[in-house]
Structure 1
Amino acid sequence: MRKFVIASVLLLQTIALSAQSIYEKDFLSFWNNFKNNYAYFDTQPIDWQKVKEIYQPQAAKITNQTDFIRFLERVTYELHNGHVFLYTNLPSSNRIIPSGQDIYVQRMAPNQFKIVDVKPDSRAEKAGLQPGFIVTKFNQKAIEPQLKQFLPKSAQKLTPEMYAYATNMLFAGVHNQPRSITIKQGTGEKTYFPDQGQLLSYKKLKGNVGYIKVKNALGNYDLIPAFDQALEALFDTKSLILDLTNTPGGGNTTVARALMGRFTSKEMPYQKHEYPTNVTRGVRRSWWELVSPRKKIYTKKLIVAVGRWTGSMGEGIAIGFDGMKRATIVGTPMAKLIGEVHSYKLPQTGIGYQIPDLKLKHIDGTPRENYQPKVLTKNHQETMQKAKALAGVKK
């Protein structure tokens, strides 16, 4: 009888084990590796058994690799130290600290945060963030509630070390979203964007004129939130210069429409697509692509600066704003890149290439490559002089 009971127990354990998903099995392997090898359970207030009780039921419900990576990242937060991290991460994963961290923020008290140090030569330093700044918001939201995602769920009592880890993980940010850090300034606030320099730069010019320069990033979806943050900071200006003179690499229409959508209060066509007649049996096929309003609309004067290094999608934005009658286009002739391109691949060697297989035109029918800015200049220096004059920049 005893042998039967033992055999039954072993059978039930085998059935239970086989019923576990690959993700639950990997979680248990992860948990056991830390249980057997982690050298600091004796000095850190971590209840590792409690971690298992909290997270194993969650692991059992996971059905894909992406969710499992996010899940394991949350488990590592229980150990609240920058030397514990995964080798595999996602675009949405948090930067690790200290390597991905450029400011050190101290939680002085609940809902009170101060920058106590800034990494030399970092994006944060170049953006103007300094030790001593009192921080009021991170990514336009209150800070204290955002710490919860990084604080250990197994802890009976949250320690200063846990809060320090959570605070600086938050301010390190995630890989695929630029940060905004709002500090107290006098009786008001000022917001800094330490990551925006990678995709664009912006500033206020004399005479309350805004200036945004896109840095060859019209194919990068991260440009959309970065542009939104920059425009928000310049929203009270009397006019705006949008500098597209360094966009030779082109981009995509999603990013372009997102940018243009901040400047129109109604849906409008911005460019015309046209198939060559040799692929449409001699019957012309064409359509207008539309821009839709997005978020809060900037209604003041808009000057768009272009040049010989404004290519492809940059050219599309220029003819779009012109066709919408929403901006004055200033600059030299643009790059004259023809058509909308699509990718192809050779079947044997796998070598890829692109073909301009759709014609692109101004909504008035002018081929995009033939468009000339309304205010035509000879070179970049003259372009910027005229753009500033039209926008009302004071000397």
Structure 2
Amino acid sequence: MARVQLAIIGGGLVGASLALALQTGAKARGWQIVLIEPFAPGSSYQPSYDARSTALSFGTRQIYQRLGLWPSIAERAEPIAQIHVSDRGRFGAARLSAADEGVPALGYVVENAWLGHCLWQALDKNVISWRCPAEVLAMHSLGDGYRLTLNDDSTLECDLAVLADGGRSGLREQLGIAVSQQAYQQSALIANISASQAHQGQAFERFTEAGPMAMLPLADNRCALVWTRPSADAERLLQLDDRHFLAELQEAFGYRLGALHKVGARHLYPLALTEAQEQVRPHLVVLGNAAHSLHPIAGQGYNLSLRDTLELAETLLASTAPLGELACLQGYLERQRLDQQLTVGFSDQVTKLFTSDQPLLAAGRNLGLLGLDLLPPAKRWFARQAMGLGPRPS
């Protein structure tokens, strides 16, 4: 029976980033890593108007720079020079700028297909092998690892299994890993938009009575829309023809980018804060959306997962213990615990504050936006949270 040191179940952005972060050290140690993925990654990048995208924080850029991948990603990464935060129908607003923070960009918006292409091209095939398309149907704990049963009736044993198969992980449930879930009673409508005016690197966070929206700058002067609405209303918007959809979006967003004149394919995602109650067991790590899935409006989910990924890779490579030893994995989780708690809390509180229609909260957030724009220390703290950075060094 085949055995490898590490099996990463899920070859998406998180799984592939972990493989990349490990591959140099793995080669030196003679480790073999297998990525198991049900959907074949594309061998070549095909640009598409409707491509899904991810907001990468400035901290994520720093991680990919360390991994040597940023020059490739940057070819189609749209920098966020400014973030404009506003509350519809109220006078409070806040403006964050890269120049004020002394960074080249507050963040970047990258098509998922391009990010995946860059990751997959960078993987060393002498260290990283693919089982793709393939799906793990069952996982059985051994004394020194896991046995994986795949959908082609083959089995594979590993010293360490990393579960990175997304927020709806069936394997997580099969292993009896409980999750806490807080439904927001909202759905996110995702689409790409074109407007009559150039976005000039501006990102907009707009809070309305029915829910927040984000309009993020994309390459080719497109914008990525994330529009949060009550689930029934989001379904209604999904069914509208393009003309009526753009009219409603224009009314909610305003004319900061001029007339909105094109919308691509629309997709709908129910929203919830989901956290796995266990992220490590002997010879097992739960990573990415399988570990924690956040509301997208604060743009923190993938960036937190990447910080987890880098910390896990560094912990494994620094350890002299057998791969998968529980004490080592617990050490990784302890080092990431505060980051996870702060980021999840920040995302959740921002979501609740800016989706509430209670008059006192609405007035409070309006004053908060004013205060954020007027008080440099508060503004700096908020900006650094958004950039995925810790407190500014003194």
Give the TM-score, by structure 2 length.
0.22
The structure with more strand, counted as a fraction of residues: 2
The structure with more helix, counted as a fraction of residues: 2
Which structure exhibits the higher relative contact order, with contacts defined as CA atoms closer than 8 Å and separated by 6 or more residues? 2
Give the TM-score, by structure 1 length.
0.22
